[in-house]
Structure 1
Amino acid sequence: MEVLSSRFLIHPRDLAASTAFYRDTLGLAIDKEFPGGTVFFLGHGSLEIVGSASTGPSPDVALWIQVRDLPATLAELAARGVTPAREARREPWGLDEAWIADPDGTRIVLVEVPAEHPLRTDPRSWD
């Protein structure tokens, strides 16, 4: 299978509230807008908020977002009224994680890869 691009789709209960959360509260940049939906840049992928749903999210699904500085990100989001569903902590696998949720309760895992972690690569620091 050759993958050309990918998106994670969320069908929220309240399209306007969820779009505002991802756009204004999280500050994600908009890639595309169309009647009934918005596509946001999400690192190497995209997040599409589209349509509507009545059941809400599954607890088995989470959106994983890597950030550069987890404490600074949490402080920025706190200033915008976001309260973590779970405070930041170092996981057994070595990543620093905190959880927040969107208006429907979709779990969003905010992740910082510590400098000493083997996953950490930052091409800007290459000489």
Structure 2
Amino acid sequence: MDVLSSRVLVHPRDPDATKAFYRDTLGLAVYREFPGGTVFFLGGGFLEVVGEGRSGPTPDMALWLQVRDLAATVAELRAKGVEPEKGPQREPWGLDEAWISDPDGTRIVLVEIPADHPLRVDVRSQ
């Protein structure tokens, strides 16, 4: 399989509220819009908010968003009325994480990778 692009699809119960959350609250840039959907830039991928869902989120799925400065990101979101479900903390696996949710309850894990974490090691020099 030769994957050329990828997207995460979210089918919200309230499309307008969910689009506004990702666009206005999180500040994600719009890649494209079409009747019934909006695609947002999501770092190296895309998030497509499309159609309408019925069942709501599952605890088995989360969006993992790496940010440059977790404390500043959480402060910015709090100023916009988003209170983290789990505040910033260093996890046992060495990443700094905070959890928020979109209007439908889809968990969003905000992650800052510390400078000394193995994910930042340049393996080309080893």
TM-score, normalised to structure 1, is 0.94
AA at the equivalent of 2:76:
E
Matched, 1:8 2:8: yes
The CA distance in 2 between the partners of 1:9 and 1:28, in whole Å, is: 15
Displacement after TM superposition at 1:121 (Å): 6.3
The CA distance in 1 between the partners of 2:69 and 2:87, in whole Å, is: 14
Map 1:40-79 → 2, pairs under 5 A: 40-79=40-79
The CA distance in 1 between the partners of 2:82 and 2:60, in whole Å, is: 22
- Detail structure 1 runs of 4+ shifted over 3 Å in the superposition: none
The CA distance in 2 between the partners of 1:94 and 1:10, in whole Å, is: 29
The CA distance in 2 between the partners of 1:92 and 1:59, in whole Å, is: 20
AA at the equivalent of 2:21:
F
Corresponding position of 2:118: 118
Displacement after TM superposition at 1:120 (Å): 2.0
Distance change in 2, residues 1:2/1:57 (3 Å): same
How many residue pairs were aligned?
122
Displacement after TM superposition at 1:118 (Å): 1.6
Alignment gaps of 5+ in structure 2: none
TM-score, normalised to structure 2, is 0.94
AA at the equivalent of 2:96:
D
- Spell out, residue by residue over 1:28-67, the C-alpha distance to the aligned partner (whole angstroms, 9 max, x if none): 0000000000000000000000000111001100000000
AA at the equivalent of 1:119:
L
